[in-house]
Structure 1
Amino acid sequence: MAEDVYSPFKVFAHMDKIEQLKRGKIITPVFIQVDLTNRCNLNCNFCFYKIHKLSAFDPKAEIPFETMKRMLRECKDIGVKAIEWSIDGDEPILIEKDGEIKNVRIKDFVDSFFDKPCEGYEYKEVKIDIKALCWNSKTFASQALEKKRIIGVLRHPAKRLYKIILETGRQICTTGSHSIYCFEGGQLRPKKVEELKVGDLIPVIHNIPTGKGKRMPELCRLLGYYLAEGSSCKRYSEKHKRYFCGIRFTFNKKEMRYIRDVANLIKKLFNSKAFLVERKNTIQVCSSSCKFFNFLESLNIGHKAKEKQIPDIVFNADYESKIEFLKGYFAGDGYFRQRKSGAELSCKTASRKLASDLVFLLSTMGIYACVEEQRNPERMIEGRVLKPSTCYHVIIYGKRQLLKLKDVIEHLGKEFIYDPRPEDKELVLDKIILLPVREIQIIEKDTIVYDITVEDNYNFIGGLGNILCFDTGGGEPLLHPNFKDIVKYAKKLGFEMALVTNGTLLDDETLELIKDFEWVRFSVDAVTPQTFKKIKGVDLFDKVIENLRKLIEIKSENNVIGYSFVVCRDNYTEIHEAAKFAKLLGCDNIRFSLAMTPLKEKLFEGIWDECVYLMERAKREEDENFKVFQFSNRIYDLAGEVYSECCYYTDFVGVVAPSGYFPCCRLKCDANFRFGSIDEPFKKVWFGEKRLRFLKMVRRGCPYDCWMTQKNKIIAALVNPPKKHVNFI
């Protein structure tokens, strides 16, 4: 069934932005209209730009390809609805800062660039040198992993999240419009999370090189023990008027080897003698060393079980030191099991961040780990009742993986007996393992989500388990030499796309490229070759209709095909015939509008009543599969007799042309209303002083003739609803 795609009530789908307007906020646009080029291969006699001789209109100008790519990225960064890519704040991401690799929560990283809590769509440019670990999408080769500078951070509210759980338990929680890479058709390509389905293959990075690293085996082993069995606190004594520090490691009485090892390490590394406290079934290794406590504090290692995380110095240590860390950690929280079905080394933790850190640390050693989210039942430990809680089970299995951890297994007092037969090959693309989606959960909650923008590659590694996240009008867009490349790049970024075209330059490759757009509108303005040539100056009517038919035949189910008809004195008699013709072709709708010329409403003197009559007849062609969008009383808009406070274009839509950024289609290419150059960052222009001054002016009522009066009235009423007699509806 055909829908009213031009409905002014679509704004009700964006009440979050209405609420921001009520609070006086400057909102980000819902979508962007882009004129790729001013060039046109037709010569329409009602051409707005030709007739009005606009000061900022160069008929040969176009937006350079690299500039367009940059603008697309920047639109994403400020939260344009069509490219809203964001993930849950608890998800970890891999970064490099000051030469060190870090596995940080995206919330902590992004929030560090803001002074206040999130109040809406917020973007900050990153000016310091911080890099993200990302993947070079041009190659599957071993050099595919690289580090690229993070150039921006973004956060905004969300109400729905998708939790994607892969086989082996790796997972990520994101908004539905965020994209992650998916292996389809023999290649990796970004796919919106809301479009994923069970069984889709998702790439996971399993071998992350971090360089040679620093040698510190004993310190790393002690940190491993602490993360598994340690806790710390600091309290102030009124009696002694000073702080006392306490660190303790709790072991089973049978684990004397580990107890002695911890005590010796504390003595050697911090020159502090540990003391033992014996309990019913356990022995605690205790230290009151402030030096040791302050060192742990500096690492931000965490005090409580759910807060613990691996410090950055371990990620940046050498291979031997990492093995020593794992010895200490698995001695406390791990176990090794060997059965006929196979062997596994595993551990459990209450900290999601620590589980993520373990998976990342192992991946820097070329070791692949599984991770499962589990639920602990209510239980009792040393007389204390523990409530049900979530825990994370990290598991390493497979001969090749376990052989690399042979020293860790022996530190546990176990022996790894392995079958020398070769293992089955995994589905691996060098550093990437492909894992099928096992489960998709939809989580309804009010939350803040986060994103980063990465230079050049526009992806980053994140989630629990190193999942690869994928960070028109005016002239004739198909005349742009890079049109196809721009469309492919925009698709890669996850844009919802639409196209207005005169239809003369469409070839089979382009038709295939645009068949899954949200909508395509053909500017035909005629029903016969004679009228077409009279209006446009060329004899290409049959070519346009042929291309229109081709697209209708191959278009995706969701692509809405429209027939555009700008009414003027040369074609008004064909209004009714145009509706019948568009319906016969199989178009989803026809859109009638009025030519905008300096004559304004006088252009229709003597023919207006007939235009209205023919429009009424055209409207009768409408049925459940075909819509007729009429100009209604836009003649009065042209006359300037009706205007309201401008909100639609100035708040909800961004307009970009080769000559700069503009407030709306009506004022596009008028140098008096240019907000900035296309060489400037989009966000700088959108939130800039020149645009803000214009907003203040149009809030009092735009003095220019406009065809968006109805939409503006609806938005204005939502932002400033009536206050008197509101219950007498």
Structure 2
Amino acid sequence: MRLISKPVLCNYYVTYRCNAKCGFCDIWERPSPYITLENAYQNLKDLKRLGVKVVDFTGGEPLLHRQLGELLEMAKQLGLITTVTTNCLLYPKYAKRFQGLIDMLHFSLDSPIEEEHNRSRGVDCFQFVVKSIEVAKSLGQRPDILFTVLEDNIDQIEQVYQEISLPNDLVLILNPVFEYNSVGDGLSEEALVKLQKWGRRKKVYLNEAFLELRRDGGNHISQPVCKAASSTLVLSPENELVLPCYHLGEAALPIDNKLFELYRSDKVQELITMEGRYAQCEGCVINCYMQPSFAVELNKYWLKALPSTLKYNWMKGTWKQLL
């Protein structure tokens, strides 16, 4: 049963450029422009009209956009919840620009061991994460530690939790790795069992619906769980609406300052009916689209996701804005 008919999230790619080369991601290989303030302002107003509550300014590395602070300020003035994930290479330099403008700030950290984290990211950024935590706290910000869980780092969660998350009073987000376009990998049942034990720990966010979906073999095109296109709008650096999601990208439609009208058009609505039904959608478990999918339809995944969703938004103080 559908609970929410409007889109709730926008993944706004401010650029595809990145200053890291993570082994589980291929976005950094793409050439890319940067979004403009003019386009962003109109798009953000239209997102608000469409019912979107959360805008994730993403990339690539979003801090490469020199006007990210202004983009965040626009979103906050419209009453939107903002989220940014960064590898921290630029955060210490620009942190003051974002002070008070990011509701959910995520610092990527995949290992407590400097050499291993740097190898995972393809660039020496561990010490920048350490410095960024210090800078953020000095500005009264509460970043989260975003830990991408792989087969070979799952046993390092405890060390990150004990040595970084708890001492700094930061939420530890556990993000199970996913596979797409021959990039990334899956997790074994043994890893899922280990991971599940973390869901109820203090200061830890783990969406247990992610684990349930993996055990069920992911999305099935005969009865799709994925509601990517109807729950989430994907906007590209070229100012296009990408459907049904970034990773599949079957269509990229020029917005031309008419996002509201474009989204409600027959063409887009027809594409939305295909969400989760393309051949490539079989077995998909991509977190950034499953999370909003779980939020808009009442099913077992909604029930599995509910405790962690409430817990996280309570910890971050964003629950009232989601009502």
Classify the TM-score, shorter chain: 0.7 to 0.9
Is residue 48 of structure 2 the alignment partner of residue 76 of structure 1?
A: yes
What is the identity, as a one-letter code, of the residue corresponding to 1:69? Answer: Y
Is residue 174 of structure 2 the alignment partner of residue 594 of structure 1?
A: no
Q: Map Cα deviations across residues 483-520 of structure 1 (whole Å, 9 max, x no partner).
A: 22222333344433221212221136534623352211
Match 1:561 to one of 139, 143, 148: 143
Q: 1:701 to 1:709 in 2, by over 3 A?
A: farther
Q: 1:573 to 1:589 in 2, by over 3 A?
A: closer
Q: Distance in 2 between matches of 1:638 and 1:476?
A: 31
User: CA contact under 8 A between 2:25 and 2:184: conserved in structure 1?
Assistant: no
User: CA contact under 8 A between 1:579 and 1:590: conserved in structure 2?
Assistant: no
1:695 aligned residue: 272
Match 1:543 to one of 128, 135, 145: 128
User: CA contact under 8 A between 2:118 and 2:124: conserved in structure 1?
Assistant: yes
Alignment of 1:452-463 (within 5 A): none
Q: Distance in 1 between matches of 2:122 and 2:260?
A: 40
Q: Distance in 1 between matches of 2:167 and 2:191?
A: 22
1:44 aligned residue: 22
Q: Distance in 2 between matches of 1:614 and 1:603?
A: 14
Tell me the TM-score normalized by structure 1: 0.36
Alignment of 1:321-336 (within 5 A): none
Q: Which runs of 5+ in 2 are unaligned?
A: 300-323
Q: 1:32 to 1:572 in 2, by over 3 A?
A: same
User: CA contact under 8 A between 2:85 and 2:105: conserved in structure 1?
Assistant: yes
Q: Distance in 2 between matches of 1:695 and 1:488?
A: 30
Q: Map Cα deviations across residues 321-369 of structure 1 (whole Å, 9 max, x no partner).
A: xxxxxxxxxxxxxxxxxxxxxxxxxxxxxxxxxxxxxxxxxxxxxxxxx
Q: Distance in 2 between matches of 1:643 and 1:594?
A: 24
1:65 aligned residue: 37
Q: Distance in 1 between matches of 2:129 and 2:87?
A: 7
What is the identity, as a one-letter code, of the residue corresponding to 1:575? Answer: I
1:658 aligned residue: 237
Match 1:496 to one of 45, 68, 81: 81
Q: Map Cα deviations across residues 643-665 of structure 1 (whole Å, 9 max, x no partner).
A: 7435643223222121421245x
What is the identity, as a one-letter code, of the residue corresponding to 2:165? Answer: A
Tell me the TM-score normalized by structure 2: 0.74
Q: Distance in 2 between matches of 1:496 and 1:33?
A: 12
Q: 1:59 to 1:526 in 2, by over 3 A?
A: farther
Match 2:228 to one of 623, 646, 649: 649
User: CA contact under 8 A between 2:221 and 2:276: conserved in structure 1?
Assistant: no
Q: Distance in 2 between matches of 1:642 and 1:574?
A: 35
2:115 aligned residue: 530
Q: CA deviation at 1:44?
A: 0.4
User: CA contact under 8 A between 1:645 and 1:716: conserved in structure 2?
Assistant: no
Q: Distance in 2 between matches of 1:524 and 1:717?
A: 33
User: CA contact under 8 A between 2:61 and 2:87: conserved in structure 1?
Assistant: yes
User: CA contact under 8 A between 2:234 and 2:241: conserved in structure 1?
Assistant: yes
Q: Distance in 2 between matches of 1:569 and 1:82?
A: 31
Q: Distance in 1 between matches of 2:66 and 2:293?
A: 36
User: CA contact under 8 A between 2:106 and 2:146: conserved in structure 1?
Assistant: yes
2:64 aligned residue: 479
Q: Distance in 2 between matches of 1:493 and 1:525?
A: 34
User: CA contact under 8 A between 2:242 and 2:251: conserved in structure 1?
Assistant: yes
Q: Distance in 1 between matches of 2:255 and 2:88?
A: 27
Q: CA deviation at 1:673?
A: 2.8
User: CA contact under 8 A between 1:500 and 1:521: conserved in structure 2?
Assistant: yes
Is residue 259 of structure 2 the alignment partner of residue 682 of structure 1?
A: yes
Q: CA deviation at 1:36?
A: 0.6
Q: Distance in 1 between matches of 2:93 and 2:227?
A: 36
Q: Distance in 1 between matches of 2:85 and 2:293?
A: 23
Is residue 255 of structure 2 the alignment partner of residue 672 of structure 1?
A: no
Q: Distance in 2 between matches of 1:552 and 1:654?
A: 32
Is residue 198 of structure 2 the alignment partner of residue 615 of structure 1?
A: no
SS of the aligned residue for 1:698 comes to: coil
Q: CA RMSD in A?
A: 3.5
Q: Distance in 2 between matches of 1:679 and 1:514?
A: 31
Q: CA deviation at 1:474?
A: 2.5
User: CA contact under 8 A between 1:476 and 1:501: conserved in structure 2?
Assistant: yes
What is the identity, as a one-letter code, of the residue corresponding to 2:176? Answer: S
Q: Distance in 2 between matches of 1:512 and 1:683?
A: 29
Q: Distance in 1 between matches of 2:293 and 2:223?
A: 6
Q: Distance in 1 between matches of 2:110 and 2:220?
A: 27
Q: CA deviation at 1:62?
A: 1.8
2:214 aligned residue: 635
Q: 1:546 to 1:49 in 2, by over 3 A?
A: same
Q: Map Cα deviations across residues 566-603 of structure 1 (whole Å, 9 max, x no partner).
A: 22345334233233332233212322221324458965
Is residue 90 of structure 2 the alignment partner of residue 505 of structure 1?
A: yes
SS of the aligned residue for 1:42 comes to: coil
Q: Map Cα deviations across residues 596-624 of structure 1 (whole Å, 9 max, x no partner).
A: 244589654xxx2552354255446x22x
SS of the aligned residue for 2:146 comes to: strand
Q: 1:554 to 1:601 in 2, by over 3 A?
A: closer
Q: CA deviation at 1:476?
A: 0.8
SS of the aligned residue for 2:274 comes to: helix
Q: Distance in 2 between matches of 1:709 and 1:509?
A: 31
SS of the aligned residue for 2:143 comes to: strand
Q: Map Cα deviations across residues 275-318 of structure 1 (whole Å, 9 max, x no partner).
A: xxxxxxxxxxxxxxxxxxxxxxxxxxxxxxxxxxxxxxxxxxxx
SS of the aligned residue for 2:71 comes to: helix
Task: Give the structure with higher Rg (CA).
Answer: 1
